[in-house]
A and B are shown apart, each in its own frame.
Chain A
Amino acid sequence: MNQKQNQVIISKEEVKHVADLARLDMDDTSIELFSKQIGNILQYIDTLTSVNTEKAASTSHAVFLPNAFREDEVKNHMDRNLALSNAPEKENGNFIVPKVIG
């Protein structure tokens, strides 16, 4: 690889911060590994900076589609118990979660 390899592209602190944002716990070994691996990937992604995009619009979708409107009609919906059938914890037709308000 080139001389940039030893440069820090994404620090361990940054990996930790981003993992926090994404609600992921990571141990020190994984953080160190990810910092290296993701650093290599981001360095590769940096080739995009050499592309002249001054006149390019941005694309977020592969095919052009206008807004998809439909009539607001009442249709059959899924049975409540069926919809809850995969819930890790449930009671009286509701999802149970740990206490949110202290």
Chain B
Amino acid sequence: MQLYELTIHEAGRLLKNREITSEQLTTAVLERIEQIDDKIGAYLTVCADLAMEQAKAADLVIAKGDGSPLTGIPMAIKDLICTKGIRTTCASAMLDQFVPPFDATIMEKLNQQHAVMIGKTNMDEFAMGSSTEHSAFKPTRNPWDPERIPGGSSGGSAAATASDMCTGAIGSDTGGSIRQPASHCSVTGLKPTYGRVSRFGLVAFASSLDQIGPIAKDVTDTAIILNAIAGYDPKDSTSLPEPVPDYTSALEKGLKGVRVGIPREYFETEGVDPSVLESVEKAISTICDTGAERVEISLPQSKYGVAAYYVIAPCEASSNLARYDGVKYGFRASGKTDIIDMYRATRSKGFGAEVKRRIIIGTYCLSSGYYDAYYGKASQVRTLIMEDYKNAFESCDVILAPVAPTPAFKIGEKVDDPLTMYLSDIFTLSVNLAGIPGISVPCGFSPEGLPIGLQILGNHLCEEKILKVAYNFEQATEFHNKKPAV
């Protein structure tokens, strides 16, 4: 086995026993990136020198016996997380030259553990997209089939994890942006409860929906990363002042007494690929074989999730992105002598088409005379969607569902048809509206050999329950051990 193939927990054990050094591990991962990232395009910035420095420092910490589970582990960071002194672009021309003067809270936490930052990963511009095609710089390719998208918006982090160009990764999820690429790339991705992980230093897209989370090679690694990044942060007034459990202690065998809810509506949705339904049904059987009890549930409002989301998210985005005006940081168009002309030229050149589309939808829905009909209505529907989940969790502990209606589609297939692109997030968006946690774990392959993911949802702050079910499913199957031939 090559060092770059190791999981975090495997590498952690070898580092602790001094069988390998972080310097060796980091070198192996950097060489892997050098060899294959031309074909995948997962990284926007590779921090080779910094990573080697951090690796040497981590080796000293380990030598003193002070290591933590992420000490010396090469991590890929989605390029919308502010990293002090390292360019953070959000895959936008607007932030092409932006070098944050501070670290996001999760970076401080990773640095405290002496994790190694290997680089910054590609994404849809400002996290708006489901395919990573909306990056201003380049598309990222799916390691399982380079003609196809890796999912999005955390496509770079998922593709890097799947193709062993990092040992673990960080993504963010506003409507499925961790779970859907994890599903398309056959890795594990967890969107935590809203407020579980600090958003300080995460470039804002839709602030009531955004959440940072892990993308990893297996469930154990996912729990290890979540342990490191979760917790209250006084710098994020929406972070939850709740104690953080040791998520790895939830990874116990056996699901006796666990009730798994199957939402009827998700399995009756039109346009779901038969191979997705078949894999998810098989996964449900596997989970029930390990002792869980199947409960039929109903989420009657879920069919309105996409519509409510595509009012609320663009409204919040149009407001959040008003800050890009060419004054304080980021791109400024040159040659304008009037300030309004400068704003207009800056924003018109700095933003890509999808970002502009969403700003216009959001501005329209918030504009005088339309606010109640769109934002007001969507906010009420959001309440009903939340009540759906609340009712469902009275009769079950977790909900099982598909992640995406189809396996990864081809690059270019949906890029000119935004509505069709939006509908590819039909099973993930409601989770963000409700603020509950969800995980995607590999659960099969289509006849063409494309990965399929199983989504496991829990009630607020029930990450331990979904991790436990995910772990038991993983331990009963081999999907997470399959690697793409890059």
- A contacts, CB < 8 Å to B: 10, 14-15, 18-19, 21-26, 30, 34, 37-38, 40-42, 44-49, 51, 53, 56-63, 65, 68, 70, 78, 82-83, 85-89, 95, 97-100
Contacts and interface: CB of A to CB of B under 8 A. Distances in A.
Contacts of A58: 376, 379-380, 382-383
Given A19-B360, A44-B310, A88-B332, 16 more contacts: A21-B367, A24-B351, A26-B356, A40-B419, A41-B310, A48-B307, A48-B378, A62-B208, A62-B209, A62-B434, A63-B460, A85-B99, A86-B98, A87-B327, A88-B326, A95-B327
Contacts of A100: 339
A62 B199 CA distance: 14
A78 B348 contact: no
Interface residues of B, number: 73
A86 B328 contact: yes
A24 B328 contact: no
Interface stretch (B223-231, B233-241, B445-453, B478-486): B233-241
Nearest to B207: A61
A45 B419 CA distance: 10
A24 B377 contact: no
A102 to B, nearest CB: 9
Nearest to A69: B237
4 closest A-B pairs (Cβ-Cβ)? A62-B435, A86-B329, A88-B332, A58-B379
Given A24-B347, A85-B99, A98-B336, A62 B363 contact: no
B432 interface: yes
Contact of B304 (A15, A47, A63, A70): A47
B379 A60 contact: yes
A42 B422 CA distance: 12
A56 B360 contact: no
B433 interface: yes
Contacts of B382: 58-59
A66 to B, nearest CB: 10
Given A41-B418, A97-B339, A48 B194 contact: no
A61 B238 contact: yes
Contacts of B377: 48-49, 51, 53
Listed residue (B308, B327, B345, B419) with the most chain A CB atoms within 10 angstroms of its CB: B419
Interface string B339-372: 1111111011001010011011101100100000
A24 B307 contact: no
B380 A89 contact: no
A51 B381 contact: yes
Nearest to B423: A44
Nearest to A17: B367
A62 B210 CA distance: 10
B102 interface: yes
Nearest to B436: A62
B5 to A, nearest CB: 37
Contacts of A37: 357, 417-419
B374 interface: yes
Given A24-B348, A63-B460, A82-B101, A38 B361 contact: yes
A71 B30 CA distance: 45
19 contacts: A18-B367, A23-B340, A25-B348, A34-B360, A40-B419, A41-B361, A41-B418, A45-B307, A45-B310, A47-B304, A48-B304, A53-B380, A53-B383, A56-B381, A58-B376, A59-B379, A65-B195, A65-B240, A95-B327
Contact of B311 (A40, A45, A82): A45
Contacts of A70: 234
Listed residue (A19, A30, A65, A88) with the most chain B CB atoms within 10 angstroms of its CB: A88
Interface in B82-112: 97-99, 101-102
B197 to A, nearest CB: 13
Nearest to A22: B363
Contacts of A97: 327, 339, 342
Given A25-B348, A57-B380, A63 B328 contact: no
A85 B359 CA distance: 27
B364 A14 contact: yes
Contacts of B48: none
Nearest to A40: B419
Contact of A59 (B318, B345, B383): B383
Contacts of B240: 63, 65
A21 B194 contact: no
Listed residue (A30, A45, A51) with the most chain B CB atoms within 10 angstroms of its CB: A45
